[in-house]
Every structure is written in structure tokens, then in C-alpha cells.
Amino acid sequence: MCTISALQLCKNRIVVTVADLVAVRSLGLRAVHEVDGPALRWVATSELADPTPYLEGGELLLTTGLGTRGWSDEWEPYVDRLVAAGAAALAVGVGLTHDRLPDRLVAACRSRGLTLLEVPRATHFVAVSRAAAELLQDQEAATTRLALDLQRRLTQAALGLDLRPLLERLAQLLDGAVALVHRDGEPEEGPFGGHPERLDLELVRTEVAGIRGQGLGAVSSTVSSTDHGQVATVVRPIGLAGRPEQYLAVAAPNGLGDPLRAAISTAAVLLSLAVERRAERRSAERRLRGRALELLVAGDLRSAEVLLDAAEGGDAVPDRLRVLRMTGSSDALGDALDRLEEGLADEGVLAGLVDAELVAVVAPARVPAVLAVVTGAGLRAGVGRATTATDARRSAESAGHALDRTTTASPVRRWEDVADAGPLALVPEALGREYADTLLAPLDAEHRATLAAFLRHHGSRGAVADDLGVHRNTVRNRLVEIERLSGLDLDDPAARVGAWLALALAPEQPPEQP
């Protein structure tokens, strides 16, 4: 009985060879000439001068040479035909047609590179066929066991959320290179493995582009000649639902057997599960961090710190901080948050989505780094004043004022820019114009000039008369008319402030009075 120990395990690919059959002692086969030929697929028996029409490749051809009696020059073409048909070996029974193997046959097999076996008279061809069938049956069972073993090892490597152990283990099993690439073909993880040069990233980008629109069921497999020999490149989408955003790219020596192809499929499934779990964990962490930031900017530092302690990594609130508030499209906000988490997560930057805004809480020295990450993302950003952690609410409010003053030409404004511009900078332009139009609508240009001079000279009617070149009584009459039309009490400081703001925010030329 043949056992699996007689089989060859070559780079995780189990094959049966002619040498395995020769090793079965009970058969008494003798290798007259032996080469590393194709794997043994089956045993065929034929006495035809040309049996090749009935061969598929990989067979051991058994013959007694019944139709070859008297052959001489015919042996070379005979062997040529067998080689062309992909025969694994030729086995000739002696003691019937030929007492020993013909010299011309031996020479032809040696020159053409075909394995030649001598079958003793006592060995039945049926016994050879049975032994080969047992070896092939063992091969199938061993292949199944190997596939299960590979699956077990890959599953163990995929127990955590870190994708690297799984990718490294797959690369080791394939003796190749493995990477996880984005939908644009650029690597996100890897390449890993002892032969990263085998993974042609340009080819991977091309293959990803070719299957990108075909969904999760697509797969690409190509074989190319390289400086490292024949390389098989396999690209599979990763994901459980929706549009795939990542792809598994594998490069390995050509000739991947079923166990290794099954291992690639298994790895793709495990990666999809791991990516999904990581996405769920990331989403939960984002919601937790967003809620913590919401509490922090609302002034509840204690509750915010409790939530941040529960988050992965245990983020801490800086003792002194600035709050940045950013707005833009949902896609732009998501991309910016991704970049902040990937680039600055370990540098004391807390970022999250709060009420359709991207909010970042950072130490004052880290503000330029945050702005550098989000620059060019199509966002507008307001940078709040520097405060203590207990006073984060004031920083958030001032960041909101700065954000309100951003424009397309100036997408980033700091609180200092607004404060230096005076109180007018705190009033949104549209709101300010509406206020000015409402308050000053009843006044014509003469009234407005008189009101401006009155405020400029701190209520001195004599100074106003001199400034405007009119009589004091004229000034008094105009001021009475202004109070009647506008409802202002010009002796009230608050009314004077309101009038000053209205004049400062109003268009230069008032509309014509009806």
C-alpha cells in the first residue's frame, strides 16, 4: 500500500512523480533514464506505434513493444511524439517482445529528455496502474489536508485587527510577495514577503483598474516573464458588501497548485472580515471621540476625559489648547479626518465630527501641523484662542467667530485676525448689512453725515457745526429729525454704539428717499 510519505511536497504544492512510483519496491521498476519531468497524472497502456492521440499529458505510458518488433530508426520519432504530447515517462515491459530495452530507444530517451523505465516480466501492468492510483488518491487527500492546514495557519494569523500578520503569513506560504492596495492600486500595507520585487505595482494598478467596476466577485490572474522567472500575479477585491475600496495583490512563482489558490481565497475572506471589523471599530471609536469633543467644547471637561480614557489609545486633553472648527463637504471632512487620524493621531491631536463640523483640539504648537494636513482639502477653518483645557468652550466659540469670517480667498482665519480687526469683524457681513439697512433706512445722506459727525465729535454740537459748516441750530434740528425718523435716543450710549456700527457697516451711498 502506498502512503503519503512517498509524495513530494514542493513549495506547498503536493505532486506525484514518476520517482514516487519507482520507489514502490513491490513493483520492481528500474529507471534506465530519469529526468525531472511533468507530474504524474495517470497511467496509460498502449501498443500503438503512435499512442499520442489518446494522451492528455502527464501519463506514464506502459507498453510491451508488441508493435515495435524490428524497429531501428523508428524509435527517435516515437520518442519525439511522446515528448510533444507531454508524456511523463515511458515504461517498457521486458521478457516479451524485447528481452532488454533496445539501445536506440535508450539513446533516444536520453537525448530527448524522456524518463524511461524497465518493467520486469513478473510485474503486471495492472499492478503499476493500481499503485499509481493509490499514490494519486493519497495526493488528493494530502492536498485537502494541506489546504486545511494553510487555512488554519492563515486563520490564526488573522485573529487580531492588525492585517500585517495575515499578509506576512500568506507571503511566507506562497514564497512570494503580498500587498493590500487601495482602489487606485497604491499600497496601503506591504509589500510583504522575502521577494517583494516580484510584485509589479504597475501591473497591479492596471489589473485593479480592469476589475474595479466588476464588484466583489471579480478576480484577475496573470502570468508574466520577469528577471525572477515566471511570476503569477493575482488580484482580488476585499470587502463584504458595497464597492470594494481595497484589493489583495499577490505575486508568486508560476504554477500555483490548488492548495495555494485556496489559501489566497481564504486570505481574501479573512482580510474582508478583518477590514470590516476594523471599520466597525474605527466607526465606534470615532463616535466616542466625537461625543467627547462635543462635551469638551461645551465645557464638560470631566465627562470628556472619561470618554477619552475609554477610547483606544487613551487620548489626553492638552493642558493648554486651541480648538479648530472646519466645514466643507461631507466627503472632504471625512478625508481630512482620515488624514488627521493617520498622520497626527500619535502627536496629541484630538479630532472628530461634531454637528457636521470637523473639530480638532490640539496643543497651540501643533496648530500648523493640523492646518498643513487639511490644506487643499477644500475646507474652511477657524482657529480659536489659546485657553486652558477647563476653558475649551471659549476657544470653541472664538473658533466659530473666526470660521464665520472665512472666505473662498481666505479659507483659514485665526481668532487673532478677528480680534485685531476690532468689533466690526465679529459681525457677519450679511447680518451687519441687514442691521444697517434697517436702522438707517429712514435717513438720507445729509442725516447720515450729521449723525456720523455727531458720533465722531462725541456729541459736541458746536464741533459738528464747525465740521459741517452749518449753524448750531441747524445741527440741533437735524439731530431731532434723526431721532424722530430712526427711533434712536442719541443721549443713550448704547444707541450711539448701535448707530456707529450701522454707519460702519452700511454701504457708502444710502438709497434715495422716496
Q: What is the pLDDT of residues 360-390, one digit of tens each?
A: 888 898 888 888 877 777 889 999 999 999 9
Q: For residue 38, what pLDDT band results from cuts at 50, 70 and 90?
A: confident
User: Cβ neighbours of residue 171 under 8 Å, at least 6 residues apart?
Assistant: 177, 178, 190, 191, 192, 193, 194
Last residue of a domain, one of 374, 400, 423: 423
Helix axes 164-174, 258-297, angle to 10 degrees: 170
Residue 154, pLDDT score = 53
One domain for residues 175 and 200: yes
User: What three-state secondary structure class fits 21?
Assistant: helix
Residue 398: count other Cβ atoms within 10 Å of its Cβ. Answer: 25
Domain that holds residue 12: 4-137
Beta strands in 183-317 (DSSP E): 187-192, 220-226, 229-238, 246-253
Nearest to 337 by CA among 366, 379, 389, 382: 379
Please give the pLDDT value at position 9: 41
pLDDT in tens, 139-173: 666 656 655 555 565 555 555 556 777 788 778 77
| N residues, the chain | 514
Say yes or no: 449 and 377 in one domain: no
The pLDDT tens digits of the residues spanning 227-239 come to 767 788 888 888 8
In a domain, 299, yes or no: no
Examine the fold and report which residue of 359, 392, 423 is the final residue of a domain before the chain moves on. Answer: 423
Query: Same domain for 163 and 95?
Result: no
- Read off the CATH number of the domain in which 410 is found: 3.30.70.270
Instruction: Round the average pLDDT of the chain to a whole number and report it.
Output: 81
405 and 340 in a common domain: yes
pLDDT above 90: residue 502: no
**pLDDT greater at residue 290 or residue 3:** 290
Residues 96 and 164 in one domain: no
Answer whether residue 32 is part of any domain: yes
Which pLDDT belongs to residue 215?
A: 80
pLDDT score of 310 more than 90: no
Do 376 and 353 lie in one domain? The reply is: yes
Phi and psi of 29, rounded to 5°?
A: -70, 140
Over 50: is that where the pLDDT of 7 sits? no
CA distance 219 to 208: 9
d(CA 194, CA 192): 7
**Angle, CA of 387, 390 and 391, to the nearest 5°:** 45
Type of residue found at 298:
A
Judgement on whether residues 266 and 365 belong to the same structural domain of the protein: no
Residue 478 makes CB contacts below 8 A (sequence gap 6+) with: 446, 447, 450
Q: Report pTM.
A: 0.47
Q: How many structural domains comprise the chain?
A: 4
Q: Which helix (H) or strand (E) holds 485?
A: helix 472-486
User: 325: closest CA among 315, 333, 317?
Assistant: 333
Domain contains 296: no
Q: How confident is the model at residue 87 (pLDDT cuts 50, 70, 90)?
A: very high
What is the pLDDT averaged over residues 251-270? 74
